[in-house]
Amino acid sequence: MSLRVDKTSLERACKEIIETILFCLPNAYKGTVYSIGSPPDMVATRVTSGIIDRERTTISWGLPERSDYNPPGKPWLQYRDEPGRPLEAMAWCVEKQKSWTAEDPDSDTRSVRVQLGGGYEDSHHMEPVLVRKQDLYLDGEPVLEYPRNYDGEVIWQDTDYMVVAVIKIHFRLGTIKMDSPETRLIKKLSRTLGTELLSYQLREESLKAMRELAQDKVNSCNIISDSLRNTISKSGLIFSLIKHEMGFLRDQWEEIIRERCNIKDAKEDYIEELDRALDSTAGVDDRLRSELKEAHKKFLEFSLTPEKAENWIRAKIESKWNTILTGNNGSNELSEKVRRSLDGLRNTLYVGKDSALIKSYDKMPEKLKQEWVDLIYRMPDRFDQVFLDKVIDMLGNPALKLPHQNKSRKSLIHLRALAKIMGELEENTNVAIRQVLNGGSTNHFLRQSK
């Protein structure tokens, strides 16, 4: 796959994500994760499949006896859209980097069985696992040969992401809809899987750097500095992954408050209103329209603290709307509509911190609620192990009752361990540099520090 992850870690991460989804969604009964290889072949390979029993207590694991996607997998040229062969949902997810939901199997235009005129099919949802290229290739994106679709168009060249895996979840017939709570949950968990796989790659690269340093006598301070500082720079990515996981925790908390307090308005609703307002406004510069559309979309992908989210709205969204509204396009009716939507969007940012709403939620001890809110909305600007330890400790409290707290706790524990490795690696680097400057060998020290 595009990520350099060992087979055992990959299978474990895939099983955990399937297990989380099947136990959380009562209408889901089967899950599969496929890895997507590096361009240009982009081989899609089934990693593992799990089926939950009727009592919903046990998951059976394994691969079907026959499948085109069983190892060694199926290359892009064999599953892309082409005339004369059935369309596959896999091709859609990989090429478009978008999800595919089969609500009604009989009318599913990408069901191979339906197109071939036979066989049983069910309702299912497929979600691509996206990882940013700059996170995947921290040293700079290598020269990659991206594949082409049947029409000769190069795919992935103008996107910031790569598809590293695809999650497929089967549901009881007729129980799944596009953009339903189930599909939104799977999308969020797909980001968690991407984060976890990235962390495994970071760990492998870090340990590899340490092993290589221990094996070879380093002859110059510059060689050590260049080879190891490169790896240490990735500690910034670890902090980004921690921030992402904290955002996921805030999302879970705010969803609980919305549900328990029967709050209907969500940031997705106000972004949709702004999109409609933009679509209905004539005379907007094409570039400005495109940038504002992208800003709307990006905002929904982030899970920032309320203060940072408000700054983001002001800088990336409101400023562009001000340009539109102060021009010839800005009617009073449009201005009022946009202002209401922006005000509503800002209000959604503080749902999880609203003291009245928090007080009305009675499923958690008051002291725990206050400590939890104070913690998750106080995101430090740099790695803080004391802060991270507190979050992990609180996630171990069953009274918290977050829907995915065990999954988040595992991810943060893993990231904490990676941060520790990076700290040790930096310490080793500094000692090695000093030894080289003093004319000594680094091997003796590194053997002791292993």
- How many Å apart are CA 116 and CA 73, to the nearest integer? 21
The CA angle 336-314-97, to the nearest 5 degrees, is 100
Cis ω on the peptide bond leading into residue 72 (within 30° of 0)?
Answer: yes
Residue 114 has pLDDT above 80, yes or no: no
Q: What is the pLDDT of residues 396-448, one digit of tens each?
A: 999 999 989 899 999 999 888 888 877 777 777 677 666 655 655 445 444 44
Of 191-200, 228-237, 335-344, the poorest mean pLDDT is in 228-237
- How many Å apart are CA 349 and CA 308, to the nearest integer? 10
- Which residues fall within 8 angstroms of residue 63, CB to CB, at 6 or more apart? 46, 48, 49, 70
Of 19-23, 56-60, 378-382, the poorest mean pLDDT is in 378-382
pLDDT of 222: 59
pLDDT of 221: 56
* pLDDT confidence tier of residue 135, bands split at 50, 70 and 90: confident
**194-221 mean pLDDT:** 70
Neighbour tally for 222: CB within 10 Å: 11
**205-232 mean pLDDT:** 61
Rg (CA), the chain: 24
The residue with greater pLDDT, 408 or 117, is 408
Residue 225 has pLDDT above 70, yes or no: no
Residue 58 has pLDDT above 70, yes or no: yes
| Residue 127, Cβ density class (10 Å: 0-12 exposed, 13-18 middle, ≥19 buried) | buried
Edge to edge, what strands does the sheet with 100-102 contain?
A: 59-62, 44-52, 28-36, 161-171, 123-132, 100-102
Q: What is the pLDDT of residues 246-260, one digit of tens each?
A: 999 999 999 999 988
Helix (H, G, I), strand (E, B) or coil at 402: coil
Of 102-111, 265-274, 367-376, the poorest mean pLDDT is in 102-111
Helix (H, G, I), strand (E, B) or coil at 410: helix
Q: Does the predicted model carry a pTM greater than 0.75?
A: no
Per-residue DSSP letters for 424-447? HHHHHHHHHHHHHHTT--SHHHHH
- How many Å apart are CA 406 and CA 397, to the nearest integer? 10
Percent of the chain at pLDDT exceeding 70: 85
pLDDT of 444: 47
pLDDT of 161: 92
**331-335 mean pLDDT:** 85
Which fold would CATH assign to domain 7-202? Beta-Lactamase (3.30.450)
Residue 232 has pLDDT above 70, yes or no: no
- The CATH 3.30.450.40 domain(s) of the chain lie at 7-202
* pLDDT confidence tier of residue 235, bands split at 50, 70 and 90: low
Residue 229 has pLDDT above 70, yes or no: no
The residue with greater pLDDT, 31 or 384, is 31
Neighbour tally for 73: CB within 10 Å: 22
Neighbour tally for 428: CB within 10 Å: 22
Report the run of H or E that residue 225 belongs to, with start and end: helix 221-232
Residue pointed to by tokens 């010839």: 328
Q: What is the pLDDT of residues 97-111, one digit of tens each?
A: 999 999 988 888 888
pLDDT of 447: 46
